[in-house]
A and B are shown apart, each in its own frame.
Chain A
Amino acid sequence: MHKVKSSKTHRDRAKAALTKAAAFGEDIDLSSYVSSAEEQPYQDDPSGLPAKAKEQMLGVGVILDDVSQRSGTFIQTDNTPVHSSIRQEGIEVMSTRQALEKYDWLSDYWWNAVPVDTDKYTANVELSQHNGYFIRALPGYKTIYPVQACLYLKRARLAQNVHNIIIAEEDSELHIITGCTTASSEEAGLHLGVSEFYIKRGAKITFTMIHSWNPEVAVRPRSAAIVEENGLLLSNYVIMKPVRSLQMYPSARCVGENAVVRYNSILVAAPRSSLDVGSRAILDAKGAKTEIISRAITTGGNIIARGYIEGNAPEVKGHLECRGLILQREGMIHAVPELKGNLAGVDLSHEAAVGKIAEEEIEYLMARGLTRTEATATIVRGFLRVDIEGLPPMLRAELQRAVVASEKEIM
């Protein structure tokens, strides 16, 4: 594990930030978690993983019994990468430790999009590195099927620190579905995941992340993307199961002309769950565009839904849409949409709405013969169905499946 190369300056900066509180979210006491877990056996054939684990992974879109619909697979249990494989030419999937050994140039990408001293969590990931995945599409290669990755938290009270690097080289196309879940439905745990995305000129990444934790797990993902000219990042995030505390604010910087970033988030907070989730797009180059959409539902928990778009170049365009539904008497949704234009010629807008389902809408459907429960379910299902432009049909189906699977719990 200590073979992971990291420059002296990264370590120094991380050490200096070890007590630096995050900008948002409850401060997690890192000392209450353990940092090591026993090594897990490597599986050449991912279908050889324990049945229970496979079933849990399936719940977050990771299919291990038949990988024919996947162009690559990466599985990490606790700190150990237990499987990595590719099924398509031009795609690389491996642990970040392997990648650092293989490619000297990877240091250029290491902590480049996400500053190592962002907060104590990024610092902790640097100082107590537990692998993560490296996924790369070589120039001009386009995946047909998605690459799947799963970070699986098994040991109780473990702090899982992962650092992921995703690179889409020029004119490549990479679809990724990543599921993070936990073996136990009640044990505490901490997931710290740093993800750095690099989308080169003319490249496209669709990244669909499904989280399924338990009511005792705390989660602090830290991700950022750099999108070059004519590049596209389409990032989807779904969390519909209870979690103790989740805070993340992924950020994308469009540095090349006409770069496009879209974030979609589907958030459901059960009682006692606390979610603070945002998406941020910085439009630094002419003609860059972004759309940030979030749908939040609380059945009793608290959600802060943030969004931030900054326009720093002419002819950039951004729209932020944040809608929240409070289904029960309890629960809170706080929408914080922010726009910042730094010059004339930017076109930024937002719309936000928080409330219960309008009685008028329920009655409209009831007048068509639906019961109150059916009408409410139809509206909730529609609310959660975000039509994601550019998402391959298969991933759209996966996303829909995750939504439908959780519908019963919501209702």
Chain B
Amino acid sequence: MESEQAIEISEVRNMLEIKQLTVAVEDKEILHDVNMAIKKGETHALFGPNGSGKTTLLMAIMGFPRYQVTRGNIIFKGEDITKLPLDERARLGIGMSFQRPPVVRGVKTRDIVAACLKGRGNEEIIGQLAEKANLADFLNREINYRFSGGEIKRSEMMQLLAQKPELSLLDEPESGVDLTNIALMGELINKLLEKDCPIRTRKCTGLIITHTGHILNYVNARTGYVMFDGRIACEGDPHEILATIKEKGYRECARCTK
């Protein structure tokens, strides 16, 4: 009885729950026993050195087949989606911005934005989104073809703004973005995550991988995690964590048992 009640509460409050998640890529275990819970409307930040498993976690949540969940569960809005295919998760309300998305020759940026809008859009809406992301000249270009680092990030955000996922998984949104554009990235992310809405009514939830933490100067995050060797080594205030990382480095941060 008690446990049922608990589930009910979690359905309401948690947008995402990761329970004892173990993920392997090509039979090599990358993530070990990861636990995480993100309440509706919150934004969490994920820190960690290169190769620690941050992207693997996002890919596993999104449901990419190469990322095999060998143990544990992914719960989205109270529903266990561990075995759900990638596209169904997307349609359920999970979206992801990629660090290095593929070039899809012949497919125009406009086509993808239109696909993200799922028929909700028209030329005008697509144009406005592109304007917002400072990509008006890119709509007729092949997606990601000869895009700069910053253009890729903005294009990913533009697609997510069209897709309007309830849970956004953002993989290093600031990497490769120059100083003049990082504020714009922050603006786009805040728009995506409905930061102008009070948290009580806010639906949009975010999990952001950040290597440098720069983006946190523009986007508020409630909780931070440090991933190290495929495990969540630390959880706490993102600014405190960032300060510790900057001062002592990841290894030291991971050793801390707080």
Q: List 10 A-B contacts (CB under 8 A).
A: A363-B64, A364-B98, A367-B86, A368-B90, A368-B159, A372-B87, A378-B111, A381-B107, A382-B105, A382-B142
Closest-CB distance, A242 to chain B (whole angstroms): 23
Find out whether the CB atom of B104 lies under 8 angstroms from the CB atom of A361: yes
| A122-159 vs B, Cβ < 8 Å mask (1 yes, 0 no) | 00000000000000000000000000000000000000
Determine which residue in A363, A369, A383 has the highest number of CB atoms from chain B within 10 A of its CB, and name it: A369
User: For A365, what are the chain B residues with a Cβ–Cβ distance below 8 Å?
Assistant: 104, 107, 112, 115
Within 8 A of B (CB), among A359-392: 360-361, 363-372, 374-375, 378-379, 381-385
Main secondary structure of the interface of B (DSSP, over half): mixed
Find out whether the CB atom of B90 lies under 8 angstroms from the CB atom of A382: no
User: For A378, what are the chain B residues with a Cβ–Cβ distance below 8 Å?
Assistant: 107, 111, 115
How distant is the Cα of A305 from the Cα of B254 in the complex, in angstroms?
A: 56
| A369-B115 contact in complex given A379-B106, A384-B106, C-beta closer than 8 Å | yes
Closest-CB distance, A266 to chain B (whole angstroms): 11
Given contacts A366-B87, A369-B115, A382-B106, 14 further A-B contacts (CB under 8 A): A323-B105, A364-B98, A364-B101, A365-B112, A367-B87, A367-B95, A367-B96, A367-B98, A368-B95, A374-B115, A382-B104, A382-B107, A384-B106, A385-B106
Closest-CB distance, B146 to chain A (whole angstroms): 14
Closest-CB distance, B108 to chain A (whole angstroms): 7
User: For B101, what are the chain A residues with a Cβ–Cβ distance below 8 Å?
Assistant: 364
How distant is the Cα of A246 from the Cα of B111 in the complex, in angstroms?
A: 33
Find out whether the CB atom of A366 lies under 8 angstroms from the CB atom of B90: yes
| B55-78 vs A, Cβ < 8 Å mask (1 yes, 0 no) | 000000010110000000000000
Find out whether the CB atom of B105 lies under 8 angstroms from the CB atom of A363: no
User: For B112, what are the chain A residues with a Cβ–Cβ distance below 8 Å?
Assistant: 365, 368
How distant is the Cα of A366 from the Cα of B86 in the complex, in angstroms?
A: 7
How distant is the Cα of A358 from the Cα of B105 in the complex, in angstroms?
A: 11
Closest-CB distance, A274 to chain B (whole angstroms): 25
User: For A385, what are the chain B residues with a Cβ–Cβ distance below 8 Å?
Assistant: 106
Find out whether the CB atom of B102 lies under 8 angstroms from the CB atom of A367: no
| A368-B106 contact in complex given A363-B64, A378-B111, A382-B111, C-beta closer than 8 Å | no
Find out whether the CB atom of B87 lies under 8 angstroms from the CB atom of A371: yes
How distant is the Cα of A381 from the Cα of B111 in the complex, in angstroms?
A: 11
| B103-123 vs A, Cβ < 8 Å mask (1 yes, 0 no) | 011111001100110100000
Name the interface size band of chain B: 20 to 34
Closest-CB distance, B68 to chain A (whole angstroms): 14
Closest-CB distance, A377 to chain B (whole angstroms): 11
Does B91 sit within 8 A of A, measured CB to CB? yes
User: For A366, what are the chain B residues with a Cβ–Cβ distance below 8 Å?
Assistant: 85-87, 90
How distant is the Cα of A358 from the Cα of B86 in the complex, in angstroms?
A: 16
Determine which residue in A323, A363, A385 has the highest number of CB atoms from chain B within 10 A of its CB, and name it: A363
Question: Of the candidates B90, B95, B102, which one forms a contact with A360 in the assembled complex, judged by CB atoms under 8 Å apart?
Answer: B102
Closest-CB distance, A308 to chain B (whole angstroms): 23
User: For B108, what are the chain A residues with a Cβ–Cβ distance below 8 Å?
Assistant: 382
How distant is the Cα of A363 from the Cα of B102 in the complex, in angstroms?
A: 10
Instruction: Give the nearest-CB partner of B97 in chain A.
Output: A367
Closest-CB distance, A387 to chain B (whole angstroms): 8
Determine which residue in B104, B112, B163 has the highest number of CB atoms from chain A within 10 A of its CB, and name it: B104
Find out whether the CB atom of A379 lies under 8 angstroms from the CB atom of B104: yes
Find out whether the CB atom of A370 lies under 8 angstroms from the CB atom of B115: yes
How distant is the Cα of A368 from the Cα of B113 in the complex, in angstroms?
A: 9
How distant is the Cα of A137 from the Cα of B158 in the complex, in angstroms?
A: 48
User: For B111, what are the chain A residues with a Cβ–Cβ distance below 8 Å?
Assistant: 378, 382
User: For B65, what are the chain A residues with a Cβ–Cβ distance below 8 Å?
Assistant: 363
Closest-CB distance, B13 to chain A (whole angstroms): 25
| A301-323 vs B, Cβ < 8 Å mask (1 yes, 0 no) | 00000000000000000000001
Instruction: Give the nearest-CB partner of B140 in chain A.
Output: A387
User: For A379, what are the chain B residues with a Cβ–Cβ distance below 8 Å?
Assistant: 104, 106-107
How distant is the Cα of A384 from the Cα of B107 in the complex, in angstroms?
A: 10
How distant is the Cα of A381 from the Cα of B102 in the complex, in angstroms?
A: 17
Find out whether the CB atom of B105 lies under 8 angstroms from the CB atom of A369: no
